[in-house]
């Protein structure tokens, strides 16, 4: 950019030269005040231009200018098929060390992660670094993902790079790490808590960015906080509704606690936002909620954020 530079990683999407990376990797040149260069694994360097960005999922698509004819696109797998304990491999340029491979396992799935759209990914609250205990209001203002958590070593520079399964398929895009650093001036490093954006969400966002330059995200039309509800002898965590937008919610009301969406367990406000982020406006979802101690299920048509 005009007064700074940065480095990140990416994955080739197709032979046309489209590459997916993180929004925060190229955010400093979104206004056109800088340039992007892509170095392939064999050392060839190409200029690239921005095709589309989606800050809300921290994803972006860039395209090589005059791409070579021998590009090999990565194969994307389905993140919905992943299991905890499955081996994974990350490839990227941690701290500028290009073509670095690290391995590990999937530590958790659907981990709600809420981060800032910046390269540092630093959070002010060390006891709640990913905002999982905070109130979640306007979904469109949050950068929340139900991420793949891995213990593979991921460091600054790995951002935007691919996370592979044992079959060589991309099942996520590495995006953030947890850090014990208490200072915004300290460089965060791996402590074995890395997070990747699931490939199912990546493919949906990338396809929309290539086709339209923008992404249609869904919204449930409710304001929620992390809460709990009593059902029989059990107390269940979930997302408690504090407000419903006019014309939204299909029967949901303040006080209801959402515990599942399309069969996926909702454990917090951020968890709900992460699930809703995967859909587009107009899609219908099944919402399980608790009202007055009784569990109910409703079909809700999601709205578009645009």
Residues recognised as catalytic: 24, 58, 159
Give Cα 82 to chain centroid, integer Å: 16
CB 112 within 8 A of CB 274: yes
CB 186 within 8 A of CB 192: no
Q: How many CB atoms lie within 10 A of CB 208?
A: 18
CB 54 within 8 A of CB 212: no
- CA–CA distance, 188 with 121 (Å, rounded to integer): 8
Alpha helical stretches, state H, 166-243 = 199-212
Alpha helical stretches, state H, the chain = 23-26, 199-212, 269-276
Helix, strand, or coil (residue 281): coil
- CA–CA distance, 131 with 113 (Å, rounded to integer): 7
Helix, strand, or coil (residue 106): strand
Q: What is the CA radius of gyration of the chain?
A: 20
- CA–CA distance, 134 with 136 (Å, rounded to integer): 6
Q: How many CB atoms lie within 10 A of CB 213?
A: 12
Give Cα 300 to chain centroid, integer Å: 23
């Amino acid at each position: 950019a005009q007064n700074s530079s940065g480095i990140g990683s990416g994955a080739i999407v197709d032979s046309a030269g489209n590459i997916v990376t993180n929004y925060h990797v190229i955010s400093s040149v979104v206004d056109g005040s800088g340039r992007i260069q892509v170095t392939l694994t064999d050392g060839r360097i190409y200029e690239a231009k921005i095709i589309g960005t989606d800050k809300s999922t921290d994803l972006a698509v860039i395209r090589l200018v005059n791409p070579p004819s021998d590009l090999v696109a990565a194969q994307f797998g389905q993140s919905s098929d992943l299991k905890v304990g499955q081996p994974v491999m990350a490839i990227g340029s941690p701290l500028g060390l290009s073509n670095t491979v690290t391995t590990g396992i999937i530590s958790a799935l659907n981990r709600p992660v809420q981060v800032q759209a910046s390269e540092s990914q630093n959070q002010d609250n060390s006891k709640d670094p990913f905002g999982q205990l905070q109130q979640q209001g306007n979904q469109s203002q949050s950068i929340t993902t139900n991420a793949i958590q891995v213990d593979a070593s991921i460091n600054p520079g790995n951002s935007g790079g691919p996370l592979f399964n044992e079959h060589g398929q991309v099942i996520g895009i590495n995006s953030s790490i947890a850090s014990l650093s208490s200072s915004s001036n300290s460089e965060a490093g791996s402590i074995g808590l890395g997070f990747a954006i699931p490939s199912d969400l990546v493919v949906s966002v990338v396809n929309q960015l290539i086709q339209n330059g923008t992404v249609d995200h869904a919204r449930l039309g409710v304001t929620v906080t992390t809460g709990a509800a009593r059902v029989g002898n059990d107390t269940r965590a979930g997302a408690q509704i504090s407000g419903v937008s006019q014309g939204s919610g299909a029967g949901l009301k303040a006080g209801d606690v959402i515990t599942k969406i399309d069969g996926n367990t909702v454990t917090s406000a951020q968890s709900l936002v992460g699930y809703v982020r995967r859909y587009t406006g107009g899609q219908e979802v099944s919402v399980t909620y608790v009202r007055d101690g009784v569990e109910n299920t409703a079909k809700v048509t999601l709205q578009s954020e645009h």
